[in-house]
Amino acid sequence: MKVAIIGGSGYTGGELLRILAGYPGVDIEAVTSRQYAGKKVSAAHPNLEGILDIRFEEPELSGIAERADFVFTATPHGFAMEAAGTFLDAGLKMVDLSGDFRFDDPATYERYYGIPHTAPELNEKAVFGLPELYRDTIRKADLVANIGCYPTTAILGLVPALKAGIIEPGHIVVDSKSGISGAGARPTPMVHFCMADESALPYKITSHRHMPEIEQELKKVNPRARISFVPHIVPVIRGMTTTIHTFLREDVTGEDVRAIYQDFYRGEPFVRIWDAGEVPRMSASRGSNYIDIGGFGVDSERERLVMVVCQDNLVKGASGQAVQNMNIMCGFEESAGLKTIGVHP
Amino acid sequence: MKVAIIGGSGYTGGELLRILAGYPGVDIEAVTSRQYAGKKVSAAHPNLEGILDIRFEEPELSGIAERADFVFTATPHGFAMEAAGTFLDAGLKMVDLSGDFRFDDPATYERYYGIPHTAPELNEKAVFGLPELYRDTIRKADLVANIGCYPTTAILGLVPALKAGIIEPGHIVVDSKSGISGAGARPTPMVHFCMADESALPYKITSHRHMPEIEQELKKVNPRARISFVPHIVPVIRGMTTTIHTFLREDVTGEDVRAIYQDFYRGEPFVRIWDAGEVPRMSASRGSNYIDIGGFGVDSERERLVMVVCQDNLVKGASGQAVQNMNIMCGFEESAGLKTIGVHP
Amino acid sequence: MKVAIIGGSGYTGGELLRILAGYPGVDIEAVTSRQYAGKKVSAAHPNLEGILDIRFEEPELSGIAERADFVFTATPHGFAMEAAGTFLDAGLKMVDLSGDFRFDDPATYERYYGIPHTAPELNEKAVFGLPELYRDTIRKADLVANIGCYPTTAILGLVPALKAGIIEPGHIVVDSKSGISGAGARPTPMVHFCMADESALPYKITSHRHMPEIEQELKKVNPRARISFVPHIVPVIRGMTTTIHTFLREDVTGEDVRAIYQDFYRGEPFVRIWDAGEVPRMSASRGSNYIDIGGFGVDSERERLVMVVCQDNLVKGASGQAVQNMNIMCGFEESAGLKTIGVHP
Amino acid sequence: MKVAIIGGSGYTGGELLRILAGYPGVDIEAVTSRQYAGKKVSAAHPNLEGILDIRFEEPELSGIAERADFVFTATPHGFAMEAAGTFLDAGLKMVDLSGDFRFDDPATYERYYGIPHTAPELNEKAVFGLPELYRDTIRKADLVANIGCYPTTAILGLVPALKAGIIEPGHIVVDSKSGISGAGARPTPMVHFCMADESALPYKITSHRHMPEIEQELKKVNPRARISFVPHIVPVIRGMTTTIHTFLREDVTGEDVRAIYQDFYRGEPFVRIWDAGEVPRMSASRGSNYIDIGGFGVDSERERLVMVVCQDNLVKGASGQAVQNMNIMCGFEESAGLKTIGVHP
């Protein structure tokens, strides 16, 4: 299969290249970058030196649409909704890693991204790209909206408990700590080493774009779900720890909760459920497509339940999940190309 | 005044030495360490090389009690409750940096620290060493229990809002991120660089010893206060960010909340209130005794309010606060010796 | 092939497991650890959770020798020279990751490791496990001494220039910066996060054990070679940057030097030569078996030449190289099991 | 005394403010920043919140020259040589923290900074601002060129040994590791957290601007001095470790060398000489004006001598040294305002 990556010089683009370079049977037909056009991919991604001997090209979409069978858009928001028509009309399947097609209601997009949605009809066809919840619809989709890094942890960490009815839907707190690669490769004051190191900084404490994404999905499980979401950046390159604080509606033990999660995710190739009382650490999934859910801490006296979710924000939180979606869309083995083991320590 | 430090080779001991070495009028009469007895203080604290030319000695308490006017115990829990009698009987004033005298009810201590409290009568006299709330009783105290690093941020960050009645007392979430120095100088697997770096790790997610300390104080404000507290270690040497997630009982703006906090802490020498929407960062207080409260994020749609509190866990969270308590107990200017400015970046 | 790992709970043991778990055709028959005996490998290496479902066992050598075809010893020095006989007599091939068999002269070992060498006859048969220089003898060896992390960078970084005769042999400076995993998993004051972070610390500045290893090999190229080697630990989990400062004996350009290196390493599967003026970064090889040589900085005015070498100290500097040696010893494809791409960023 | 800071929003500007805010008797009359004009200084330097209640202003030089007695220029190179005349003509004394006036020969400046030197006559009057070597001329100077961070460590670390004649002048290697604040506050790809973290990166390996500065001063001690200088950035906010590799001309012990250094720096308020075999660490001087020289490792077999020098690159390597120069120029106590103790850990 011939794959194209639009926007390949950023971190998620680099991860797509890393994964696909080690995926037999997939050819990287084109990778674009305005900034790096004409340069070797190793100019942006030095890990690919000597491994992937191709060059970035200009994003000439219709030409690329003719050459490729499948396309990933790893571009800033606003791009994919303009480009998707070209690819879909040419018969390609597509995974978009931006926020363009993640919302059922384009109005939500417009509110949180601040620009009009220019492809509402495609938005209707797009499928929310979370395999653990939407595998069957992803299988039939031509356009999949790869979901955000924070939402992957929050949604997978909350749905089983919410569905089981054991937690108060109206008092859910999601406190996420993200590696700084989540902010992208562009140098800004926020990601300056001297600002990001020796720090743990909350940002957009009431208004992050991933909040409505989380809420959209949880409200489908329980319409009364109300999320208090605060993202943080911590001095970590890649990795995410999401601490989920909930209040219990019934008397359960950590073991009970763990059993609920194990049942829910039985057979999932990338979800690992940790023992009650065991807390996953970032390095268990670093560089891999695993997502680890653990903690299951119950404090009966205070009627509270805590879950901890970890993943690599660039893999299961972005490019790994995108390839997982591709595998499902194309009928390939779901974990093909994604068997790399986490790098610990 | 002649000061003794019992347990001077750890991080809080080192901070006491750093602060007191730059405090004119205070003589460090004795600093003890079993491990370093006979060695220069710079053997444990290289920053003191050429500045403080004294040596550690063995902790011979009665001898030290004769030589000093004031004593700090920066020892593991269990030590101070055995030693306090010796010092108080000899007429010294004392600040204990451990957990031994922090609880109104010794039973709480015994439950969370797992050992019997051997000095309940002294415990009754001990004053909770949080100057912003207990300045007047500290002034008259001979024995002050310097409070924990996490509780300093949680209590100061919550009391004004709780007192004002604007938040639901039963759904308070305190998610704290601490620098690793909070775990002490002893090498353990948890603080191994390769485990602590590139990580953000929750621990003791339902059972940390600082939780009852927080709850004890908040229940005095509102008996229905219920705290969901999860501490984390992040790859930071010193510093703490506490994110406080609350749910609103009435319709307020961030500005309203900020005004409540400003009123509450007016005149406080070490509490800085940041603008609504501004989030303090660790480096603002690094190495200094300031505590920064900000955020004041209101999401009316979800009826939630978020505060962010930062401090240096070894200064305002430990040794700086201890010296602040000493200043109050001795009738000195409260900020004497504590005017060092934070080291940013 | 059935493989045993003696000493599997440390970092190099963990890397062997990570690599071999993803190596089809290799079965991990046994992995030992006194500390973790009976526990799942994921208790020490959480990245292996759900991937490698085996347990640590006690190091009962003769039993293991019967079950396995190949053995890795990832044990503290002193162990392998006691154990090697058991394995070799039973017909196994062996790669030792410690320093026990690295020196031509056991007296050097005794001087730098401070204990008598108890298997000098085996030492004579052992082959220095650096494939790029000793591939042909490794092919026939039963016992290979996997070489040190620092020596891998220093030797591969210096041999081509030294052989070409372009540098002064008597004034070679090797200044290495290592990730802290090189110090092992045992918690010590040196690897405490608060000591290792925000630091770049030289240690054993004239006496590191890897120095004679480097010198032994360079003296084979030029007996007048004299090395000034200073190792440092930097706040990095895994990775190594070795800066090689040399003085030129003739007038060359950076391009000339690069050509010498390219010729020397032509066809090598894991050596990447960077352009003159380009400096490799740790992330290019993080988690992978590549070693990157670049820089080739010439300052004709000062007659100096600088090379920069990077590798992952746990992979090419330890366990990856060990598997590479195994592949050569067993006649497998040299890069089998070692195709993982570096994790950048 | 009324002091002005031109270019106050960067890291060295911030450090000047931090130091001077705690310096009784010095008034900060003006601090300029084009980017932050009109904003509170805490907008750029949050540690100053509640401490220094002044605002940045536009750099209107002649107006400022009328209001101030002393001026620091903490501006990019090229600015100070244009501005110095205005200040000096108005009778101010001036310390320039840029490279504009550091070279005896303006041609060296032009070669390494790539622009013409527009104030050669002022350059002749400027004094090289290294108090330990030039205290007497600094005392009489109106214009002092504060020297570079790397040169401070290299020059102070080498002059005693070079003067004593114990080392080969033609084979001196200076391998420096700098905290990233040395690169300034401007966000660039090099200082992006994801590029700088988990890394130790040599840069400008044969051409750094600080090299001629080092050589200029060492050639005054021995005209045959030849320096191989390679700077590195390591994942550290502030701090510098310079490892100096030299070759011995005579048979000395580490103790002998240490004695040479102790004699040389006797009475210096900010130079600390460590015991032979003891290596200083960055945290000993973090946030303080100390410079630590130690190591003094002798390997007689290889005729080599290693020194290790540490400092805070923003303090002794920049703004602390600038205030030290100011103190000397103005006849104040040399350590006034500079008594802050290093923040360890």
* Domain-located, residue C171: yes
Domain boundary among D109, D125, D141: D125
Compute the Cα dihedral for D257, D259, D264, D268 and give only its sign.
Answer: positive
Domain boundary among A125, A159, A175: A125
Q: Is the CB of residue B198 less than 8 Å away from at least one CB of chain C?
A: yes
Q: Is the CB of residue B189 less than 8 Å away from at least one CB of chain A?
A: no
Interface test with D, best of B28, B40, B49 (most D CBs within 10 A): B49
Compute the Cα dihedral for B206, B212, B213, B215 and give only its sign.
Answer: positive
* Domain-located, residue D325: no
A296: left (phi over 0), alpha (psi -120 to 50) or beta: left
Which B-chain residues 271-290 have CB contacts (< 8 A) with chain D? 272, 274, 280-281, 283-288, 290
* Domain-located, residue C99: yes
Nearest CA distance, D207 vs chain C (angstrom): 8
User: Measured between beta carbons, which residues in chain C are less than 8 angstroms from residue A184?
Assistant: none
Q: Do the Cβ atoms of C313 and C147 come closer than 8 Å?
A: no
Interface test with B, best of C36, C190, C193, C236 (most B CBs within 10 A): C193
Find the closest chain D residue to A181 by CA distance: D194
Q: Is the CB of residue C21 less than 8 Å away from at least one CB of chain A?
A: yes
Number of H helices, E strands in chain B: 11, 13
* D263 and D176 assigned to the same domain: yes
Nearest-angstrom CA–CA distance, A38 and B304: 50
Nearest-angstrom CA–CA distance, D197 and A191: 11
* Domain-located, residue D335: no
Compute the Cα dihedral for C294, C296, C297, C303 and give only its sign.
Answer: positive
* A17 and A105 assigned to the same domain: yes
Q: Which of C291, C303, C258 is nearest to C276 (CA)?
A: C258
Helix (H) or strand (E) holding D95: strand D93-96
Nearest CA distance, A297 vs chain D (angstrom): 32
The DSSP code sequence of C171-204 is: -EEEEEEE-GGGG-SS--GGGBHHHHTT--EE-S
* B107 and B226 assigned to the same domain: no
Q: Do D197 and A194 touch (CB under 8 A)?
A: no
* A87 and A184 assigned to the same domain: no
Find the closest chain D residue to C193 by CA distance: D345
Nearest CA distance, A341 vs chain C (angstrom): 7
Q: Which residues of chain A carry a pLDDT beneath 50?
A: none
Subunit partners of chain C (3 or more CB pairs within 8 A) = A, B, D
Q: Do B247 and A279 touch (CB under 8 A)?
A: no
Nearest CA distance, B42 vs chain A (angstrom): 24
The CATH number of whichever domain residue A76 belongs to comes to 3.40.50.720
User: Measured between beta carbons, which residues in chain C are less than 8 angstroms from residue A18?
Assistant: 341, 343-344
Task: Point out the residue among C11, C187, C237 whose CB comes nearest to the CB of B197.
Answer: C237
Can you tell me whether residue D345 is helix, strand or coil?
A: coil
Q: What's at A49, amino acid-wise?
A: E
Structure tokens at A257: 């909760």
D187 confidence band (pLDDT: 50, 70, 90):
very high
Q: Do the Cβ atoms of D257 and D308 come closer than 8 Å?
A: no
Q: Is C310 a catalytic residue?
A: no
User: Measured between beta carbons, which residues in chain B are less than 8 angstroms from residue D281?
Assistant: 46
* B254 and B176 assigned to the same domain: yes
pLDDT at B329 (0 to 100): 98
* B88 and B165 assigned to the same domain: no
Domain residues for the domain of C190 are 150-313
Average pLDDT over residues B16-38: 97
Number of domains chain C contains = 2
Helix (H) or strand (E) holding D139: helix D131-140
User: Which strands form D271-276's sheet, in the order they lie side by side?
Assistant: D201-202, D227-233, D172-178, D240-247, D304-311, D291-299, D271-276
* C119 and C163 assigned to the same domain: no
pLDDT per residue as tens digits for the range C192-221:
999 999 999 999 999 999 999 999 999 999
The DSSP code sequence of C60-115 is: -HHHHHHH-SEEEE---TTSHHHHHHHHHHTT-EEEE-SSTT--SSHHHHHHHH-S
Nearest-angstrom CA–CA distance, C159 and C128: 15
pLDDT at C338 (0 to 100): 98
Q: What is the dihedral of CA D308, D310, D313, D318, to 10 degrees?
A: -90
Average pLDDT over residues D117-122: 98
Residue with tokens 């942890």: A153
User: Measured between beta carbons, which residues in chain B are less than 8 angstroms from residue D22?
Assistant: 339-341
pLDDT per residue as tens digits for the range D310-319:
999 999 999 9
Helix, strand, coil percent content, chain A, rounded in steps of 5? 40, 25, 40
Can you tell me whether residue B157 is helix, strand or coil?
A: helix
Q: Do B173 and A177 touch (CB under 8 A)?
A: no
Q: Is the CB of residue B245 less than 8 Å away from at least one CB of chain A?
A: yes
Q: Is the CB of residue D206 less than 8 Å away from at least one CB of chain A?
A: no
* B117 and B163 assigned to the same domain: no
Q: Do D245 and C173 touch (CB under 8 A)?
A: yes
Nearest-angstrom CA–CA distance, B148 and B129: 9
Q: Which of C271, C249, C269 is nearest to C258 (CA)?
A: C271
* Domain-located, residue C230: yes
User: Measured between beta carbons, which residues in chain C are less than 8 angstroms from residue D282?
Assistant: 198-201
* D111 and D229 assigned to the same domain: no
Q: Which of C305, C271, C265 is nearest to C288 (CA)?
A: C271
Q: Which of D276, D267, D242, D286 is nearest to D153 (CA)?
A: D242
Task: Point out the residue among D188, D189, D197 whose CB comes nearest to the CB of A237.
Answer: D197
Q: Is the CB of residue D234 less than 8 Å away from at least one CB of chain B?
A: no
Nearest-angstrom CA–CA distance, C319 and C314: 6
Structure tokens at B142: 């001979």
Nearest-angstrom CA–CA distance, B240 and B178: 4
* B190 and B64 assigned to the same domain: no
pLDDT at B135 (0 to 100): 98
- Active site residue ranges of B: 149
* D119 and D159 assigned to the same domain: no
User: Measured between beta carbons, which residues in chain B are less than 8 angstroms from residue D11?
Assistant: 345
Share of chain B above pLDDT 90, in %: 100
Q: Which of B177, B191, B100, B146 is nearest to B315 (CA)?
A: B146
The Cα-based distances of B230 to B200, B237, B244, B273, B309 in angstroms read 12, 19, 11, 24, 15
pLDDT at C59 (0 to 100): 96
The DSSP code sequence of D38-70 is: TSBHHHH-GGGTTT---B-B---HHHHHHH-SE
Q: Which residues contact C182 (CB under 8 A, 6 or more apart)?
A: C149, C233, C240, C313, C314, C317
Q: Do A191 and D192 touch (CB under 8 A)?
A: yes
The Cα-based distances of B102 to A151, B83, B183, B224 in angstroms read 40, 16, 19, 21
Q: Do A11 and D194 touch (CB under 8 A)?
A: yes
C235: left (phi over 0), alpha (psi -120 to 50) or beta: beta
Q: What is the dihedral of CA B62, B66, B67, B69, to 10 degrees?
A: 110
* Domain-located, residue B319: no
Partnered with residue A94 across adjacent β-strands are: A71, A143
Q: Do the Cβ atoms of B235 and B196 come closer than 8 Å?
A: yes
Q: Do the Cβ atoms of A218 and A160 come closer than 8 Å?
A: no
Nearest-angstrom CA–CA distance, D332 and D269: 14
Number of H helices, E strands in chain D: 12, 13
Does the model's ipTM exceed the 0.95 cut? yes
* Domain-located, residue A324: no
Question: How long a stretch of residues is chain B?
Answer: 345
Interface test with C, best of B180, B192, B344 (most C CBs within 10 A): B192
pLDDT at B214 (0 to 100): 98
pLDDT at A345 (0 to 100): 97
Centre a 10 Å sphere on the Cβ of residue B253 and count the other Cβ atoms it contains.
12
* C75 and C214 assigned to the same domain: no
pLDDT at B315 (0 to 100): 98
Catalytic residue among D149, D194, D310, D330: D149
Q: Do the Cβ atoms of D9 and B345 come closer than 8 Å?
A: no
The CATH number of whichever domain residue A258 belongs to comes to 3.30.360.10
pLDDT at D54 (0 to 100): 97
Q: Do the Cβ atoms of C308 and C241 come closer than 8 Å?
A: yes
Q: Do the Cβ atoms of A175 and A241 come closer than 8 Å?
A: no
Q: Which of A338, A334, A329, A345 is nearest to A92 (CA)?
A: A329
* Domain-located, residue C320: no
Nearest-angstrom CA–CA distance, B196 and C197: 10
Q: Which residues contact A216 (CB under 8 A, 6 or more apart)?
A: A103, A104, A108
Nearest CA distance, A216 vs chain B (angstrom): 14
Q: Do D197 and A11 touch (CB under 8 A)?
A: no
Task: Point out the residue among C195, C202, C281 whose CB comes nearest to the CB of D295.
Answer: C202
Find the closest chain D residue to A46 by CA distance: D195
